[in-house]
Amino acid sequence: MKELLVAGEAERKEAPRILPVPPVPRHGAPPGGWLERYAQVVDPGTLRALEALARRLHGHRIVMVNTTKTGGGVAEILHRLVVILNELGVPTTWEVMEGDEAFFNVTKKIHNALHGHTEPLTAEDREIYAERTRSEAKRLALDGDLILIHDPQPAGLVSLRRKPGQRWVWRCHIDLSSRDPDHWEFLRPSVAQYDASIFSAIEFVPTLPIPTYLVPPSIDPFSAKNREMDPDEVAAILDRLGLSRRGPWVTQISRFDRIKDPLGVIEAFRMVRGRRRARLLLAGGGASDDPEGAEVLAEVRERAGKVKDVTVLELPPGSDEEINALQRMSTVVMQKSLREGFALTVSEALWKRRAVVASAVGGIPLQILHERTGLLARSIEGAAFQTVTG
């Protein structure tokens, strides 16, 4: 990692003095390249800076590894990050570790426990995790110079596939501040074998014997989920989804996951509904590595049926245009999570200039300056109060 990241004087002396910047190789980019589109939202100096930093990585290959191509913030970040890195001349590939239901039940249990919802990890669970890690270690193409492993599910690969000269970095997207000690002790020996770790916020960082860096995640303003959309387009999508154009709409768009507290959102809305006319939309899908989604969705539907003006919408993977329209039609975007890694939905709503009411957990306070860019809440009543009065 140090070789890749630490500045060297030799390069400084070789700085060329010619304008414009020499073009970097383009790999599979659309005409004009993805990077050129970003000139609409950042100044040219920033793009030049990105190219200068990328030149430091020329000659190195990166492999990203996670456990799903669809659903959730990590897959969303990787979809664009891989393209941009390639366009910057840093060859980058994306490997997806596959698993069966048993494996994802175990990793979901670990995920929940690392967020503070403890369930014992049995010997059988440990064996399922180890066995899948062994079989995937044989299958995955992990032949880059830098292997970037995302989240706990594929963390065990490091002990089986590390080659001399490679650098392995663990990128943790989740909030470990309330982690269950037993689950963390299961994971920690693997994490300790990495060359470095990356967390989204300092509050999430456990004690580790390896260097730790802090990098908040990001959203893509040109993705289907965030691109500009005119009102007619939004209205057409609402019609197609069978949603009323008449608001005001309060929405929470998230995976159907207990840590996103969809039942708490319904309860907060019930309080709001007592004072103001409004509609609530709970929309989301599942991630392929989240086996609990269907169960939570059933609970949400059952509870929603008891409160007036609540709509529950299950979105299939790839519903980015729909999510974009739903956020744009919202008067208030809510993110009432009990735990969060970062909550990209908050940045998405802020990008679309929506009013945001969100829990003060995980990476959300990094995005919302209370009463300046949005409203933070710490309880169901708080979320209701901020929605009504904010």
Partner 1 sequence: MTKPFLFSTVAHLEYPAGRLATGLATLREGIARVPPESLFFHITRVMVRYPRARDLPPNDFANWTAVALQEPELAERLAFAGAQPLTELEDHRAALLRILDDALARKSPEAVGPAAAFHFISARSVKAPLPFTAEHPEEVVHLWPHVDAAAAFYHLVEARVLGPVSDSLTVWLRERGATRLAESAEGLTMGGMPLYRLHREIGARWRRSLIGTRLLERTEKSDAARRQEARDVVARFAGRLRKPREDAGA
Interaction of residue 19 with partner 1, rule CB under 8 A: yes
Closer of 5 and 294 to partner 1 (Cβ): 5
User: With 0-12 CB in 10 A as exposed, 13-18 as middle and 19+ as buried, what is 116?
Assistant: middle
Assigned token pair, 215: 């990098």
DSSP structure string for 239-279: HHHT--S---EEEEE--S-GGG-HHHHHHHHHHHHTTS--E
Interaction of residue 16 with partner 1, rule CB under 8 A: yes
Instruction: Show the DSSP H helices in the chain as ranges.
Output: 2-5, 9-13, 34-38, 44-55, 73-87, 101-114, 123-139, 158-161, 181-191, 231-241, 262-273, 293-304, 320-329, 344-351, 364-367, 380-389
Closer of 88 and 137 to partner 1 (Cβ): 88
Cβ(75)–Cβ(287) under 8 Å?
A: yes
Taking the complex as a whole, how short is the minimal distance between the CB of residue 227 and partner 1, in angstroms? 21
Taking the complex as a whole, how short is the minimal distance between the CB of residue 23 and partner 1, in angstroms? 11
Interaction of residue 214 with partner 1, rule CB under 8 A: yes
Closer of 133 and 197 to partner 1 (Cβ): 197
Closer of 44 and 390 to partner 1 (Cβ): 44
Interaction of residue 46 with partner 1, rule CB under 8 A: yes
Closer of 215 and 307 to partner 1 (Cβ): 215
DSSP structure string for 315-376: PPTT-HHHHHHHHHH-SEEEE--SS-S--HHHHHHHHTT-EEEEES-TTHHHH--BTTTBEE
Q: Which residues pair with 377 in a beta bridge?
A: 359
The residue count for binding partner 1 (CB under 8 A) is 33
Interaction of residue 307 with partner 1, rule CB under 8 A: no
Closer of 48 and 277 to partner 1 (Cβ): 48
Among 135, 177, 223, 311, binds partner 1 (CB under 8 A): 177
Interaction of residue 246 with partner 1, rule CB under 8 A: no
Interaction of residue 116 with partner 1, rule CB under 8 A: no
Helix (H, G, I), strand (E, B) or coil at 127: helix
Site string for partner 1, 50-89 (x = CB under 8 A): --xx-xx---------------------------------
Residues near partner 1 (CB under 8 A) are: 5-7, 11-12, 14-22, 43-46, 48-49, 52-53, 55-56, 177, 202-203, 205, 211-215
